[in-house]
Amino acid sequence: MDGLEVTIRLLDPPLHEFLPKEGPELSSLCDDLLKSYHAKPAGQHMRAHKLLQRRLEGLNETNPMMGLRGCRLGIRHPDITAMQAAAIIEAAVECQAEGVAVYPSIMIPLVGFEEELVNQLRVVRDVAEKIFNDSNNSNRGSRIDIKVGTMIEVPRAALISAQLAQHCDFFSVGSNDLTQMTLGFSRDDAEAKFMSEYIKEGIIPHDPFDSLDVTGVGELIKLAVQRGRSTKPNLRIGICGEHGGDPESISFFNGADLDYVSCSPLRVPVARLAAAQAQIKARASLANDHCQD
């Protein structure tokens, strides 16, 4: 990635997804924790196991995809944000010292309130200053131009994008979650239980997680672009999600004046072709308009 921008989204899923639930993994975690506190596993293991299991059960949520995740997790546990920011920035400083051109961008997920974004950006910037000025750092004084941005994946974020843009270098529209929250559909449940029936009955024309719901979700995306750039005209805005590999969706994104699409690796060839076709069509349409004038 020498010379190329790297965008890292901070941890997004609910906390319980990163932790063991039972069995050997939970037992192993107990042993590791006891060793870190220099306790004797033989006498303390059962007690630690019960306490840890109780703690893990307390982290389970009724609706985890709308619960303690994204920036909410970082606000509740700021050390998690600080740990990730430190890893990114220290790595960038080390790479720069080795002659690698690094351009890190840190993305704050699931923001819905301006104050959430301000809170998490403060954590990131405080960590950056500590690293840049650390007297024990052999690269002390080295500074990296770190871009910071947020994901537009909560409908409220699209509505207040003018305010969010004051604090951001870029937006990334998280189209998967934005679709879930706008339609009120849980993707896994909808696709497993009623999506095919909805399409068959003509309630919806296609699966909105495969091809963007232009009429609903698309309007929020256009609003986010317009309002964000009303505050910061050169704001870089892209799309992140499976829609980034769908030709019809890409055509819409191009018309909505987004700068790029991001998708899973398998969809990249199709995305490149669709992006090129969308750009050619847009230029042809513009040329026809000029001819008519």
pLDDT tens, N- to C-terminus, the chain (293 residues):
899 999 999 988 877 777 776 677 777 777 777 777 665 655 666 777 777 777 777 777 777 778 889 999 999 999 999 999 999 999 999 999 999 999 999 999 999 999 999 999 999 999 999 999 886 766 666 788 999 999 999 999 999 999 999 999 999 999 999 999 999 998 989 999 999 999 999 999 999 999 999 999 999 999 999 999 999 999 999 999 889 999 999 999 999 999 999 988 888 999 999 999 988 988 877 666 656 66
Report the sign of the C-alpha dihedral through residues 178, 181, 186, 191, in that order. negative
pLDDT attached to residue 227: 98
263 Cβ neighbours under 8 A, 6+ residues apart? 241, 242, 243, 244, 245, 271
Residue 241: per-residue pLDDT: 86
pLDDT at residue 178, rounded to an integer: 96
Rounded to 5 degrees, what are φ and ψ at 137? Answer: -90, 125
Domains in the chain (CATH in brackets) are 5-11+67-292 (3.20.20.60)
Cβ count within 10 A of residue 198: 16
Contacts 24+ apart (CB under 8 A), 82-87: 82/123, 82/126, 82/127, 84/8, 84/10, 84/11, 85/10, 85/123, 85/124, 85/127, 85/128, 86/127, 86/131
Give pLDDT, residue 45.
66
Q: Coil, strand, or helix at residue 24?
A: helix
| 171: β partners | 150, 237
Q: How far apart are CA 148 and CA 171, in angstroms?
A: 9
Mode of pairing for the β-strands spanning 103-108 and 260-262: unpaired
| Site of tokens 């449940």 | 189
Residue 246: the pLDDT is 94
**Rounded Cα–Cα distance for residues 228 and 162 (Å):** 4
pLDDT of 65 reads: 76
Instruction: Look at residue 172 in the predicted model and tell me its pLDDT.
Output: 97
**Which pLDDT score, from 0 to 100, does residue 38 have?**
64
Token pair for residue 283?
């230029």
How far apart, in whole angstroms, are the C-alpha atoms of residue 34 and residue 246? Answer: 49
pLDDT of residue 245: 92
Distance, CA of 30 to CA of 53 (rounded, Å): 10
pLDDT at residue number 66: 82
Question: Tell me, what's the pLDDT at 123?
Answer: 97
The pLDDT assigned to 64 comes to 74
Amino acid at 179: T
Cβ neighbours for 255, distance < 8 A, ≥ 6 positions apart: 278, 282
Query: Which pLDDT belongs to residue 135?
Result: 64
Q: What does pTM read for this prediction?
A: 0.86
Residue 66 has, within 13 A of its CA and on its CB side, a CA count of 12
Question: Token pair of 158, please?
Answer: 């699209």
Compute CA 248 distance to the chain's CA centroid, rounded to the nearest angstrom. 23
Cβ(156)–Cβ(113) below 8 Å = yes
| Amino acid 204: pLDDT | 96
- Cα gap 121→183, rounded to integer Å: 29
pLDDT for res 292: 64
